[in-house]
Protein backbone atom coordinates (compact mmCIF):
# COMPACT_ATOMS: atom_id res chain seq x y z
CA UNK A 1 0.00 0.00 0.00
CA UNK A 2 2.81 2.45 0.82
CA UNK A 3 4.19 2.74 -2.71
CA UNK A 4 0.76 3.14 -4.33
CA UNK A 5 -0.33 5.69 -1.74
CA UNK A 6 2.82 7.74 -2.37
CA UNK A 7 2.43 7.45 -6.15
CA UNK A 8 -1.23 8.52 -5.95
CA UNK A 9 -0.33 11.47 -3.76
CA UNK A 10 2.40 12.59 -6.18
CA UNK A 11 0.18 12.19 -9.24
CA UNK A 12 -2.67 14.14 -7.68
CA UNK A 13 -0.35 16.92 -6.55
CA UNK A 14 1.29 17.12 -9.97
CA UNK A 15 -2.06 17.29 -11.79
CA UNK A 16 -3.39 19.84 -9.31
CA UNK A 17 -0.25 21.94 -9.83
CA UNK A 18 -0.85 21.84 -13.58
CA UNK A 19 -4.44 23.05 -13.09
CA UNK A 20 -3.50 25.83 -10.64
CA UNK A 21 -0.36 27.07 -12.38
CA UNK A 22 -2.22 29.28 -14.90
CA UNK A 23 -3.67 31.11 -11.89
CA UNK A 24 -0.24 31.52 -10.27
CA UNK A 25 -1.15 29.19 -7.42
CA UNK A 26 0.22 26.00 -5.87
CA UNK A 27 -1.59 23.08 -4.24
CA UNK A 28 -0.61 24.55 -0.84
CA UNK A 29 -2.26 27.87 -1.78
CA UNK A 30 -5.38 25.89 -2.72
CA UNK A 31 -5.48 24.24 0.72
CA UNK A 32 -5.10 27.55 2.55
CA UNK A 33 -7.83 29.10 0.41
CA UNK A 34 -10.15 26.16 1.18
CA UNK A 35 -9.61 26.68 4.91
CA UNK A 36 -10.43 30.38 4.62
CA UNK A 37 -13.44 29.88 2.34
CA UNK A 38 -14.78 27.57 5.03
CA UNK A 39 -14.00 30.02 7.86
CA UNK A 40 -12.49 33.40 7.10
CA UNK A 41 -10.38 35.06 9.78
CA UNK A 42 -8.71 31.91 11.10
CA UNK A 43 -5.67 32.23 13.32
CA UNK A 44 -2.43 31.24 11.62
CA UNK A 45 -2.07 28.41 14.15
CA UNK A 46 -5.54 27.07 13.26
CA UNK A 47 -4.65 26.92 9.58
CA UNK A 48 -1.42 25.11 10.49
CA UNK A 49 -3.34 22.57 12.57
CA UNK A 50 -5.89 21.93 9.82
CA UNK A 51 -3.12 21.39 7.28
CA UNK A 52 -0.70 19.58 9.63
CA UNK A 53 1.91 22.28 8.99
CA UNK A 54 4.10 24.13 11.42
CA UNK A 55 6.26 27.22 11.38
CA UNK A 56 8.21 28.44 8.42
CA UNK A 57 6.52 26.56 5.60
CA UNK A 58 3.10 28.05 6.33
CA UNK A 59 4.56 31.49 7.05
CA UNK A 60 6.28 31.55 3.65
CA UNK A 61 3.11 30.49 1.86
CA UNK A 62 1.09 33.15 3.68
CA UNK A 63 3.77 35.75 2.84
CA UNK A 64 3.45 34.98 -0.86
CA UNK A 65 -0.35 34.97 -0.72
CA UNK A 66 -0.30 38.34 1.01
CA UNK A 67 2.13 39.72 -1.61
CA UNK A 68 -0.29 38.55 -4.32
CA UNK A 69 -3.15 40.34 -2.59
CA UNK A 70 -5.13 37.16 -1.80
CA UNK A 71 -5.06 37.49 2.00
CA UNK A 72 -4.32 40.03 4.67
CA UNK A 73 -3.03 39.50 8.19
CA UNK A 74 -4.52 41.31 11.16
CA UNK A 75 -3.74 41.09 14.86
CA UNK A 76 -6.47 39.51 16.97
CA UNK A 77 -8.26 42.23 18.93
CA UNK A 78 -8.45 40.15 22.14
CA UNK A 79 -4.98 38.59 21.98
CA UNK A 80 -2.39 40.66 20.12
CA UNK A 81 -0.02 37.66 19.93
CA UNK A 82 -2.39 35.99 17.46
CA UNK A 83 -2.45 36.82 13.77
CA UNK A 84 -5.73 36.26 11.94
CA UNK A 85 -5.81 35.61 8.21
CA UNK A 86 -8.56 37.22 6.16
CA UNK A 87 -9.37 36.80 2.49
CA UNK A 88 -9.20 39.88 0.34
CA UNK A 89 -11.73 40.45 -2.42
CA UNK A 90 -9.31 38.76 -4.85
CA UNK A 91 -9.08 35.72 -2.57
CA UNK A 92 -12.85 35.54 -2.27
CA UNK A 93 -13.30 35.75 -6.06
CA UNK A 94 -11.17 32.63 -6.54
CA UNK A 95 -13.91 30.63 -4.80
CA UNK A 96 -15.99 30.86 -7.98
CA UNK A 97 -13.06 30.04 -10.28
CA UNK A 98 -11.04 27.27 -8.64
CA UNK A 99 -13.52 24.69 -7.25
CA UNK A 100 -14.84 23.71 -10.71
CA UNK A 101 -11.26 23.17 -11.88
CA UNK A 102 -10.49 20.92 -8.91
CA UNK A 103 -13.83 19.11 -9.30
CA UNK A 104 -12.89 18.30 -12.89
CA UNK A 105 -9.60 16.80 -11.68
CA UNK A 106 -11.39 14.80 -8.98
CA UNK A 107 -13.85 13.43 -11.53
CA UNK A 108 -10.97 12.44 -13.80
CA UNK A 109 -9.25 10.63 -10.92
CA UNK A 110 -12.44 8.83 -9.87
CA UNK A 111 -13.62 7.90 -13.36
CA UNK A 112 -15.06 4.37 -13.43
CA UNK A 113 -15.67 4.32 -9.66
CA UNK A 114 -19.32 4.13 -8.59
CA UNK A 115 -20.85 6.54 -6.07
CA UNK A 116 -21.05 3.73 -3.51
CA UNK A 117 -17.37 2.92 -4.04
CA UNK A 118 -16.48 6.61 -3.76
CA UNK A 119 -18.32 6.86 -0.45
CA UNK A 120 -16.58 3.74 0.83
CA UNK A 121 -13.19 5.05 -0.30
CA UNK A 122 -13.84 8.35 1.45
CA UNK A 123 -14.86 6.56 4.66
CA UNK A 124 -11.76 4.36 4.54
CA UNK A 125 -9.46 7.33 4.00
CA UNK A 126 -11.12 9.15 6.92
CA UNK A 127 -10.54 6.08 9.09
CA UNK A 128 -6.87 5.84 8.12
CA UNK A 129 -6.38 9.54 8.84
CA UNK A 130 -8.11 9.20 12.22
CA UNK A 131 -5.97 6.17 13.07
CA UNK A 132 -2.80 8.17 12.44
CA UNK A 133 -3.86 11.38 14.19
Residue 82: its pLDDT value, please? 95
**Would you list the domain boundaries of the chain?**
2-132
Average pLDDT per block of 10 residues along the chain, 133 residues long? 91 97 96 98 95 82 97 95 97 98 97 97 94 90
Side-chain half-sphere CA neighbours of 15 within 13 A: 15
Residue 110 in contact with residue 120, Cβ under 8 Å?
no
Q: What is the pLDDT of residue 2?
A: 86
CA distances for 108 relative to 14, 23, 52, angstroms: 14, 20, 27
In degrees rounded to 5, what are phi and psi of residue 74?
-140, 145
The pLDDT assigned to 54 comes to 67
**2-132: which CATH number, 3.20.130.10, 3.40.50.10140, 3.40.30.10, 1.10.10.10?**
1.10.10.10
Amino acid sequence: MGYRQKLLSQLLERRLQEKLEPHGLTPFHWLVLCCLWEEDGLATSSIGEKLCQVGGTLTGVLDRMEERGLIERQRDLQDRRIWRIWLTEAGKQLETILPPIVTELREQALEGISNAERQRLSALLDLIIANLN
